[in-house]
Structure 1
């Protein structure tokens, strides 16, 4: 049975939602600045919105991937190979950009106490890879409850293959469930303006933007500069190489409709439903995006590679350690591989900074202080990182789809 034609989002409704989100942003900034005490109430709105997205995302991914694999027919191209290449190329390229940016504009850190940072960082690349492999065989119910997207993808793919020979009635049930979960997602997304209003009001009230930028301004500028270069230069080059078309209309669409929500949710996992809705709006191949979007939220981590690299080199410069060319290349590889294992939740990339710091024999207590700095600037760094990561998932998926349609049309 062929997949039913996905219901597209009308441009008028989408534009109206964007306007409402902008209004929510402005009102949130005003409330956070003028009436900071009101954030005790407004914070609930933001928490409810992000919580709802995080709650529904694992089940959406599981249902869509299972359905896509179960209904896939031999000969139907999904372009996953080319998308995976773009994911890996983009992540490694971002790490290289971060190395170059950090060398051109070296920054140092005013390190803070790490006693309140209660996290356990991986001890090596082997630990990262082992964690990924163990997530593959995690209990499927535990994967859904714990939002373990590696495990969710693995079990969804296996179940999809097992259901390929199921009856048409079974496929129809899967399709109906998929549409039902997608409808719930659309209802939640409609509440985005209210949720973002709450998130923005709390951010402005609790975070001293001016003070923070004054203290850690240079490293923040290097981070944002590298992310902007990847978003507006590197990614368009990759997309142009794939599609042979002007990439910027697609780039701007993805940044506007995926990047902005991701900036405020600060979670690639929570933004999966948003990306699914955008992929439908762009009329992409459902067999492709139902797999590539959740996969991208797991391994397409250009922003995380930049964060790991920039903060590691800031620690290196703070310690006065010289960096040669080969070490810089090795750092790019480690940052790219580590980024692929970064958690899809807020602050996930910071856990991997000690691993990169170990390349330069930086003591773990110093590395953990760098992690603490990362949490301090996280309201800016993590938001921009997630916006880049999540918008790129849709961007590369769309690029592969456009290239395939152009090839077929010839």
Structure 2
């Protein structure tokens, strides 16, 4: 099983969960429901620590990097991420009501509960953690001392190991428990049918936004946008395999240079964007979040979703370079800003990770478009 990727493990967990829940054996289903409840509480505990561990050092590193191009590149990357989220909201508002009807996951009347619960209260709220992370990050950048920064980097490494060695390996069992409960209560069939349509919608918006990015870059720089996209194809497919923007940096840099970007700009812009530009991930999170809400019979308005999108662009800064890193960083926002409960968060994790590689591919391909724009600005 160690040789399996996360996605195959998740799929196995979903299938086993459906089988176990469908048997109707209450005690067996309750075992996994109990584990899922405990794991969900642990996630709630770790979320504030994750936000501090990754956002604070990420902001500090941005602040410690000098140069005019830093601000320009970061600004363009953030604008791209926010624009991607807005496009995802518009598409969702137009299409989701036609493919998802409220009550699509209505159960068959049966209920099931855990054998017991273990409460793990977080040491602080999510918004408190965000404010703390901003304060520490900006403070570390301002004082330019290394003591606290080095401590935060080590703390970041601890949280990263928790994600890699505990959360990610146990996540398939968590998903198994969620789907076992859904199968037992009769919710699972319609949920899977809905999410298969949502995945297709997400991929379509990914490709559309990549085209938009390169049309804008082409208009600004005078290059052929379709030729530029063609040159970026190796980076796109490498990202599908690695599921990590950071791991794809060497290929992204090389393909970006094929589009005429200078070595200096490519070597600077691509690694930076691999950390702060997450347009593809934002598209996925926004559409999937609205789809989960639509299953409950409502879709949030733009005034509710826009702040969520804007905060995503910050909280995902320096998200760990592991599969599903963006969704881990976004769990707190989903809970506090959109009111998601534990089953909804579990569904979000399952649907996000099921296509995480394509979101990463959209991220890195967009990095090439940003590098083109920054390259043009640098030449002025």
Pair in the same fold by TM > 0.5: yes
Deviation at 1:396, TM superposition (A): 3.8
Query: Does residue 21 in structure 1 map to residue 3 in structure 2?
Result: no
Name the SS for the 1:145 alignment partner.
Answer: coil
**Counterpart for residue 181 of structure 2:** 206
- Separation in 2 of the partners of 1:292 and 1:48? 29
Alignment of 1:164-175 (within 5 A): 166=144, 170-171=145-146, 173-174=147-148
Look up the match of 1:303: 285
Could you tell me which residue of structure 1 aligns to residue 229 of structure 2?
Answer: 245
Q: Secondary structure of 2:229's partner?
A: coil
Query: Which residues in structure 2 correspond to 1:130-145 (within 5 Å)?
Result: 145=124
Matched, 1:62 2:62: no
Q: 1:187 to 1:176 in 2, by over 3 A?
A: same
Residue aligning to 1:83: 77
Going from structure 1 to structure 2, the CA distance change for 1:60 and 1:292 (only over 3 Å counts) comes to same
Question: 1:401: how far off?
Answer: 6.1
**Candidates 135, 142, 166, aligned match of 1:155:** 135
Cα deviation, residue 308, structure 1? 3.9
Is the contact made by 2:100 and 2:291 (CA closer than 8 Å) also made in structure 1?
A: no
Q: 1:308 to 1:288 in 2, by over 3 A?
A: same
1:228 aligns with 2:203: yes
Asked whether the 8 Å contact 1:28–1:198 carries over to 2, the reply is: yes
Are the structure 2 counterparts of residues 17 and 375 from structure 1 closer, same or farther at C-alpha, using a change threshold of 3 Å? closer
Question: Structure 2 vs 1, CA of residues 41 and 154 (structure 1 numbering), >3 Å: closer, same or farther?
Answer: closer
> Cα offset for 1:147?
3.1
Contact 2:198/2:291 (8 A) holds in 1? no
Q: 1:187 Cα deviation (Å)? A: 2.5
In the TM superposition, residue 62 of structure 1 has moved relative to its aligned partner by: 1.1
TM-score normalised over the length of structure 1: 0.53
Question: Which sections of structure 2, spanning at least 5 residues, go unmatched?
Answer: 21-27, 108-121, 218-224, 251-266, 313-329
State the match for 1:364 in structure 2: none
Shift of 1:82: 1.2
Q: 1:52 to 1:93 in 2, by over 3 A?
A: same
Structure 1 residues 105-125: Cα deviation after superposition (integer angstroms, max 9, x where no partner):
365434979xxxxxxxxxxxx
Q: RMSD in angstroms over aligned alpha carbons?
A: 5.2
Shift of 1:31: 5.5
The alignment status of 1:348 with 2:341, answered yes or no, reads no
8 Å contact from structure 2 (residues 236, 364) kept in 1: no
Q: Cα distance, 1:199 vs. partner?
A: 1.5
Deviation at 1:63, TM superposition (A): 2.5
Quote how far apart the aligned CAs of 1:206 are. Answer: 1.5
- Are 1:188 and 2:158 counterparts? no
CA distance in structure 2 between the partners assigned to 1:20 and 1:48 by the alignment: 25
How is 1:1-400 mapped onto 2 (pairs within 5 angstroms)?
Answer: 19-22=4-7, 24-25=9-10, 28-29=13-14, 32=17, 33-34=19-20, 36=29, 38-39=31-32, 42-43=35-36, 46-47=39-40, 50=43, 54=47, 55-69=49-63, 71-77=64-70, 79-102=73-96, 105=98, 107-110=100-103, 145-148=124-127, 150-152=130-132, 154-163=134-143, 166=144, 170-171=145-146, 173-174=147-148, 176-191=150-165, 194-208=169-183, 211-215=186-190, 220=195, 223-231=198-206, 233-241=207-215, 242=217, 244-246=228-230, 249-251=234-236, 278-279=245-246, 282=249, 288=272, 292=276, 300=282, 303-304=285-286, 307-308=289-290, 333-334=302-303, 336-337=305-306, 339-340=308-309, 344-345=330-331, 348=334, 379-380=346-347, 383-384=350-351, 392=359, 395-396=362-363, 399-400=366-367
| Cα distance in 2 for residues equivalent to 1:56 and 1:237 | 33
Alignment partners' CA distance in 2, 1:352 and 1:228:
23
Unmatched runs of 5 consecutive residues or more in structure 1 = 1-15, 114-142, 259-274, 318-330, 354-370
CA separation of 1:86 and 1:289: change in aligned 2, threshold 3 A: closer
Shift of 1:349: 7.7
CA drift at 1:198? 2.2
